[in-house]
Structure 1
Amino acid sequence: MLNRLRSTALLLSFFLPITLFAQTATSLDDTLQLNEVVVRGYATNRRLLETPASVGLLTRRDLNQRFGTPTIVPALNTLPGVRADERSPGSYRLAIRGSAIRSPFGVRNIKTYWNELPLTDAGGNTPLNALDVRALGRIEVIKGPSGSLYGAGTGGTVLFSGLAVPANKSSVEVSALGGSYGLYGNGISVQTGKNNSAISLNYNHLQSDGYRDQSAVVRDNLSFIGSFTVSPKRTVSVLALYSDLHYQTPGGLNEAQFKANPRASRPATATLPSSAAQQAGIYQKVGYLGFSHEYRWNDRIQNTTVIYGSTTDFANPFITNYEKRADQGIGGRTITQIRLPNGPLPTTFTVGAELLRNFTVDRNFGNRGGTADTIQTDEELTARQATLFAQAETELPAHFRLTAGLSRNDARYGFTRFPTRAAGALPATLLARNFSPVWLPRVALLRTFGSNVSAFVSISTGYSAPSSQEVRPSAGGFNTTLNPERGTSYEVGLRGSALKSQLRFDIAVYQFQLRETIVRRSNEAGAEYFVNAGRTDQRGLEAQVSYDFLPPSYFASQSGLFSLLRIWNSLTLTNYRFRDYQQGTADLSNNKVPGVAPTTNVTGIDAESRSGFYAHVTYQFLNQFALNDANTVLSDPTQLLQATLGVRRSLGKNWAIDVYASGDNLLNRTYSLGYDLNAVGNRYYNAAPARNGVGGVRLSVKW
């Protein structure tokens, strides 16, 4: 590792003097004004100002410049209402408006897409850690139920896009980084754009020894994205992804262990071995291949149809068992848009369907020091989701716009358990769980006030069937009594700009009443299972405000010192409580829902100079929150300070270089980036790294 760091430092020392006398390179992406941002959410392809929904946007600057470590987590945490955790390096958990209360790990209850290609499988699971942030160019987060167009789910929807490919240009970028706790990474990106095609090929490697014992990670990602204009009316696109990921899982600590040595992994007990002794970790290989066909009959009618296939090879040596899982997925989605711009009420109709299917072979073995032992369970699971949807968007008089949508959602599971012993074995058991199809409506009304301000109200229904990892948890078996979540969300929003667009604001207030809320439980061995917990009442306020110290006329003049000078703030206030929740003899009604901070405040300062220097400072505060349903244990308040300094310069006509240094947890606070909720033995804590740093370089050539 020291050799790699010396190599990186030598590279920086060689190029840095050159950059100080070179031409200025182009900014990573343009400064976006709220009135100009076009979002894809709900298939409107309208300015954010004209979109009647809460949508958070992350650009390439947010994803690949603001933070030095190449992980998606800190960028997502700058959005109000969104919380990403990394319990150990590579182990992601994502919550939109508290949707992670049922996720001990992974991403559930959220739909994700890559340019209409579904990334979330039929079992409701999303392999978010199979994506590398260095290959992403843009993320849109739709907050709250969005079933009228994207199917079942009560949390929200995430729309991913790759790096933009400039027309009629080609480029190659190589990168390297090194940092604390054995962090090392490199990558290469090749892009070429022609009149009728755009191709992007990315390879990225990342590895780290980890801050805690038993927390190393190694990840390799390869992606190919191509778009080809076959004719003036037809465009064909392809997305190919491959991820090879291994990360160790140190396990949760109780409070005494966490305070005594936050870097420790879970120790042995009188009845169970330690995480290190069992070599606890995840081995995950994910392959994904998708095709998209877009056809434009004319300027009013167009259709996009996609199909995909996926495969996952998964192994999880755990403290008490060793799970091996093979998963194959297939699916498709078609969406047709019909625009009727003329007439007294211009209207756009969107209709479509989505069908997803997964087949999973899942076996549990004993775990003997990280090696699979005697087979314990042998099971197969099939999952299917079918969605039909329609939406109408109509322009009304007096600057009103009405959006009304409806979808039909059908989820089904089939489960087979095979005998594992020949002598006296029972025959194979076949079970099915078919949830009744549901209709999910959504209605939203928006009004614009001039060209700078808009307000909206919306009512949407959410529905989320149990995921495949909930009906068939890691310890095996099939839960035939777990019911889907269903609820109704009411929301009011106001967004716009003032002071000649220097001040921008986006505020939303919502109330989500959820029935049959799914929550996680764990047994004495730490294996999870899931139950319905009655109702929850979820109320929240989300606000995002930014201020440019200099007016747009200053930036448009192409003169002066700065190309960006901004301060911004994201505030999330929540009051999530159980209703009608009985746990044994205890009545937990009116208790706070665990894992959801009542106050989250993130403040940042962004500065970029025309000479190529840039700086980003981010401060994050989370108030304490409950760690269990009984509300008897609370987290510690979290204060996190991060900063990045860099310079991006041109080297002659075709070459450019970007050199940066970044610091994380600069206040050196001991905190947990991801708690284990309702943990047995009070093992709630997963320590995040202490103060650490990373430095890197990106070298590119364009022609």
Structure 2
Amino acid sequence: MKRSILIITGLFFYLPFITAQQSGGDSLLLEEVTVEAFRTHQTANKGTATVHILNRQTADGYNKLSLLSGMNTISGVRMEERSPGSYRLNIRGSSLRSPFGVRNVKVYWNNIPLTDPGGNTYFNQLAFNNFSKIEVVKGPPSSMYGAGTGGLVLLSSLYNWKPGADAEYITGSYNLQNALTSLRFGSDGARHEITFAHNQSDGYREQSKLRRDNFSWSSRYKVHEKYSISTGILYNDMYYQTPGALTQAEYNTNPKAARPAAGGFPGAVQAKAAIFQKNITLGITNTYIFNRFISGSTTLYGSYTDLRNAAVRNYERRQEPHAGVRSTIDIHLNNSFAQSIISAGAEWQRGYNNIRVSQNKNGNPDTLQTDDDVRQTAYTIFVQAHTILQKKWMLTAGLGLNKNSNDFTRVNNYPVKTITLTYPATLMPRFAVWRELNSKGAILLNISRGFSAPTTAELLPSTSILNTALQAEKGWNYELTTRYAFLLQKLQVSITGFYFDMQNALVQKRDISGADYFENAGAIQQKGIETQVNYLYTANNQFIKKVQTSIAYTFHDFTYGNYVNNNVNYKSHTLPSVPKHSIAATVIVQTLGGIYLHGSWYYADNIFLNDANTAIAPAYHLIGARSGYTLPLTTHQLNIYAGIDNILNEKYSLGNDINAAAGRYFNAAPGRNFYIGIAWSWDKKPAER
């Protein structure tokens, strides 16, 4: 097995150098597109932040049930799936704070915040066709984007827009049924895109069915040369069952089983454990140019989530409306020696939540236990200066002022009173220096301070006990990146080393019922190396017309500082949930005849499952392959394909429950599975002049 892996690794590395001898034709690597993060308007290879670009083409090659496989091709990024529909996304971090959803990472869709003022993001509300470009920024974004020590995700749906339509259907193992459609119409001055996605699966475990319907509408109106309006609607209606975690013995006996009854609590099947979730987000953005020196944008948005969680322990209903505004103004100062952009702005969010927890009686709410009204407020004020000196140097200095507060009112307890938890306004600076070494390489130094207040779900977890003692995470991040290009820019290598000294780190615990609660663990030292290698080969009039390879290697050495819990000091213990080594490799081969091959390999090292480092999830290798045929029909294109995931039929657990009582750590992932698909696309021909 090890020999096979070494051979595959060697092929991934060696293939670019074989094909490079025959390369011809021009190509554009993905990292050359302009990124919007931090408003510097540079490319991913030349900016002053560590950014990775993911588009529909590079994320393609899988069954499109989620963005999991595409996200995991990025070094330093790990997306997990506890069960179909339940996803966690971590950037340079762990899963300690994320029993579900996404925390500690800010997420925007078309400049509209998807992260609520309580700090949570329902990443599962997104479908594969809701975006045409994703920017993943690694490192604290607090200097401009508010609370978050992990990173930033910006999704755009109108990038590289052109009129046309797409339709795709995928079916496969576990009764997988995916249908995706999109329609793009209008003109350059009035762009529109409407998408719909239906995802359905019976799941690979007992009690793990999924159904999701997703709709989005994006538009951009160019009123005149200096003013445009963008609007967006994102709607999601989903239902997914939650099978619960297993002990080691249960996992070894039958990994497909749902959590059985134990300790006075019913099993997942008896409790009809499931989540019913609806999300709708609406936003409008005004972009304006006052003159050649001053420009800016303002976004107004509103969002509402209705979530019902029938769990083994209880039945929870969350109603979560929130709204906000984000506004930025840019001042452009240019001369023969330097070009500068000074950006200043603010983001403000307010949420009014109601959280009702009842007993769960066979999947229905019974006796009311708690009824809480929660008001959340989050704001950030920021200023940043970005300067380019003679195209050889780039300097960025930013400063953000962040503040979060939560008001909790338990209305079913008398006398009714409100408890306010406020996290003082905190300054978050960021400094970055980029230096071009020559036409092929550059070096980047980035120093930033991160800030992340406890989320509402951490202050009031599923135990329904308000934790007033939690403190905000803070810390300084230091990173050094070198980027170099070879073979006429076709082979690009990026290596980043970082050290993040986090204070008051938040960690998750689970009690015997499966309810989560959180506490501060003091200091955590996060050290790592992240390497990304991309190669693109193109050739005209040759059988192999395109070869695109990517290899991402991640080394994360995360350890506790002086963390004492129940009279046990976990100093120098490895943080649970974080594999020390991980590798993601992909290769795409396209032929002149329309046949293509897509191969992928993902490796994750052993993962500790508790603070004591006594429980371990073994390392695993995932190998996938997809082959298809693309038939061009003038302006139309037909794509027929088939694929296999987990070819080796590895038994592994993904989205583990960390620090779980009674050793209920394991959420089994699917074994070998298959899918087939057919896709049709049409691009409108430009009008003849």
- SS state of the match for residue 46, structure 1? coil
Change (3 A) 1:646 1:300: farther
- CA–CA separation in structure 2 for the residues paired with 1:31 and 1:72: 26
- CA–CA separation in structure 2 for the residues paired with 1:701 and 1:460: 45
- CA–CA separation in structure 2 for the residues paired with 1:165 and 1:456: 28
- CA–CA separation in structure 2 for the residues paired with 1:610 and 1:513: 51
1:455 aligns with 2:448: no
1:45 to 32, 41, 64: 41
Q: CA deviation at 1:343?
A: 5.3
1:656 to 637, 648, 654: 637
Within 5 A, what are the aligned runs for 1:449-528? 449-528=437-516
Within 5 A, what are the aligned runs for 1:339-350? 339-342=332-335, 344-350=337-343
Q: CA deviation at 1:61?
A: 1.0
- CA–CA separation in structure 2 for the residues paired with 1:415 and 1:248: 29
- CA–CA separation in structure 2 for the residues paired with 1:429 and 1:631: 42
1:414 aligns with 2:434: no
Match of 1:127 in 2: 122
Match of 1:533 in 2: 521
Change (3 A) 1:700 1:458: closer
Q: Residues 132 and 160 of structure 2 are in contact (CA less than 8 Å); yes or no, is this contact kept in structure 1?
A: no
**What letter matches 1:656 in structure 2?**
Q
Match of 1:382 in 2: 375
Within 5 A, what are the aligned runs for 1:239-638? 239-342=232-335, 344-396=337-389, 399-419=392-412, 426-548=414-536, 550=537, 555=539, 558-638=540-620
Within 5 A, what are the aligned runs for 1:640-651? 640-651=622-633
**What letter matches 1:275 in structure 2?**
A
Match of 1:201 in 2: 194
- CA–CA separation in structure 1 for the residues paired with 2:340 and 2:166: 44
Q: Residues 148 and 389 of structure 1 are in contact (CA less than 8 Å); yes or no, is this contact kept in structure 2?
A: yes
**What letter matches 2:519 in structure 1?**
V
Structure 1 gaps, min length 5? 1-29, 420-424
Q: CA deviation at 1:32?
A: 3.4
**What letter matches 1:289 in structure 2?**
L
Q: How much is the aligned-residue C-alpha RMSD, in angstroms?
A: 1.5
- CA–CA separation in structure 2 for the residues paired with 1:280 and 1:32: 48
- CA–CA separation in structure 2 for the residues paired with 1:574 and 1:166: 37
Q: Residues 670 and 690 of structure 1 are in contact (CA less than 8 Å); yes or no, is this contact kept in structure 2?
A: yes
**What letter matches 1:414 in structure 2?**
D
Q: Residues 34 and 497 of structure 1 are in contact (CA less than 8 Å); yes or no, is this contact kept in structure 2?
A: no
- CA–CA separation in structure 2 for the residues paired with 1:603 and 1:344: 42
Q: Residues 482 and 532 of structure 1 are in contact (CA less than 8 Å); yes or no, is this contact kept in structure 2?
A: yes
- SS state of the match for residue 75, structure 1? helix
Within 5 A, what are the aligned runs for 1:108-119? 108-119=103-114
- SS state of the match for residue 62, structure 1? helix
- SS state of the match for residue 357, structure 1? strand
- SS state of the match for residue 250, structure 2? helix
1:145 to 131, 140, 147: 140
**What letter matches 1:692 in structure 2?**
N
Moved more, 132-141 or 382-391: 132-141
Q: CA deviation at 1:609?
A: 2.3
Match of 1:20 in 2: none
- CA–CA separation in structure 2 for the residues paired with 1:121 and 1:643: 37
- CA–CA separation in structure 1 for the residues paired with 2:426 and 2:122: 26
- The one-character-per-residue Cα deviations of 1:19-55 (angstroms, maximum 9, x if unpaired) are xxxxxxxxxxx95326733222211111222212211
Q: Residues 31 and 564 of structure 1 are in contact (CA less than 8 Å); yes or no, is this contact kept in structure 2?
A: no
Match of 1:16 in 2: none
- CA–CA separation in structure 2 for the residues paired with 1:254 and 1:51: 46
Q: CA deviation at 1:113?
A: 1.0
- CA–CA separation in structure 2 for the residues paired with 1:253 and 1:563: 48
- CA–CA separation in structure 2 for the residues paired with 1:568 and 1:207: 30
Q: CA deviation at 1:634?
A: 1.1
Q: Residues 309 and 315 of structure 2 are in contact (CA less than 8 Å); yes or no, is this contact kept in structure 1?
A: yes
- The one-character-per-residue Cα deviations of 1:498-531 (angstroms, maximum 9, x if unpaired) are 1222321011000000000000112222211110
Q: CA deviation at 1:648?
A: 1.9
**What letter matches 1:675 in structure 2?**
N
- SS state of the match for residue 38, structure 1? coil
Within 5 A, what are the aligned runs for 1:677-692? 677-692=658-673
- CA–CA separation in structure 1 for the residues paired with 2:631 and 2:297: 40
**What letter matches 1:61 in structure 2?**
Q
- CA–CA separation in structure 2 for the residues paired with 1:326 and 1:481: 25
1:669 aligns with 2:653: no
- The one-character-per-residue Cα deviations of 1:166-191 (angstroms, maximum 9, x if unpaired) are 44xx3222221110011112132111
Q: CA deviation at 1:233?
A: 0.8
Q: Residues 94 and 578 of structure 2 are in contact (CA less than 8 Å); yes or no, is this contact kept in structure 1?
A: no
Q: CA deviation at 1:68?
A: 2.6
**What letter matches 1:637 in structure 2?**
A
Q: Residues 44 and 50 of structure 2 are in contact (CA less than 8 Å); yes or no, is this contact kept in structure 1?
A: no
- CA–CA separation in structure 2 for the residues paired with 1:194 and 1:394: 35
Q: CA deviation at 1:567?
A: 2.9
- SS state of the match for residue 424, structure 2? coil
- CA–CA separation in structure 2 for the residues paired with 1:429 and 1:518: 27
Within 5 A, what are the aligned runs for 1:21-100? 32-33=28-29, 36-63=32-59, 65-100=60-95
- CA–CA separation in structure 2 for the residues paired with 1:492 and 1:116: 28
Q: CA deviation at 1:594?
A: 0.5
**What letter matches 1:105 in structure 2?**
F
Match of 2:12 in 1: none
Match of 2:675 in 1: 694
Structure 2 gaps, min length 5? 1-25, 685-689
Change (3 A) 1:438 1:99: farther
**What letter matches 2:640 in structure 1?**
V
- CA–CA separation in structure 2 for the residues paired with 1:163 and 1:602: 28
- SS state of the match for residue 87, structure 1? strand
Q: Residues 585 and 600 of structure 2 are in contact (CA less than 8 Å); yes or no, is this contact kept in structure 1?
A: yes
Q: Residues 82 and 95 of structure 1 are in contact (CA less than 8 Å); yes or no, is this contact kept in structure 2?
A: yes
Change (3 A) 1:563 1:296: farther
- The one-character-per-residue Cα deviations of 1:580-608 (angstroms, maximum 9, x if unpaired) are 10011111111001101000011221112
Q: Residues 510 and 658 of structure 2 are in contact (CA less than 8 Å); yes or no, is this contact kept in structure 1?
A: no
- CA–CA separation in structure 1 for the residues paired with 2:35 and 2:391: 23
**What letter matches 1:92 in structure 2?**
Y
- SS state of the match for residue 433, structure 1? strand
Q: Residues 165 and 192 of structure 1 are in contact (CA less than 8 Å); yes or no, is this contact kept in structure 2?
A: no
Q: CA deviation at 1:559?
A: 2.7
Q: Residues 49 and 496 of structure 1 are in contact (CA less than 8 Å); yes or no, is this contact kept in structure 2?
A: no
Q: CA deviation at 1:427?
A: 1.2
Change (3 A) 1:187 1:49: closer
- CA–CA separation in structure 2 for the residues paired with 1:185 and 1:567: 27
- CA–CA separation in structure 2 for the residues paired with 1:586 and 1:390: 44
Match of 1:9 in 2: none
- The one-character-per-residue Cα deviations of 1:537-591 (angstroms, maximum 9, x if unpaired) are 000000011234x4xxx54xx4322332133210000110000100111111110
Change (3 A) 1:33 1:69: closer
Q: Residues 357 and 384 of structure 1 are in contact (CA less than 8 Å); yes or no, is this contact kept in structure 2?
A: yes
Match of 2:14 in 1: none
Moved more, 662-671 or 610-619: 610-619
- SS state of the match for residue 50, structure 1? coil
- CA–CA separation in structure 2 for the residues paired with 1:290 and 1:249: 31
Q: CA deviation at 1:347?
A: 1.4
What TM-score results when the alignment is normalised by the length of structure 1? 0.92
- SS state of the match for residue 181, structure 1? helix
- SS state of the match for residue 618, structure 2? coil
- SS state of the match for residue 257, structure 1? helix
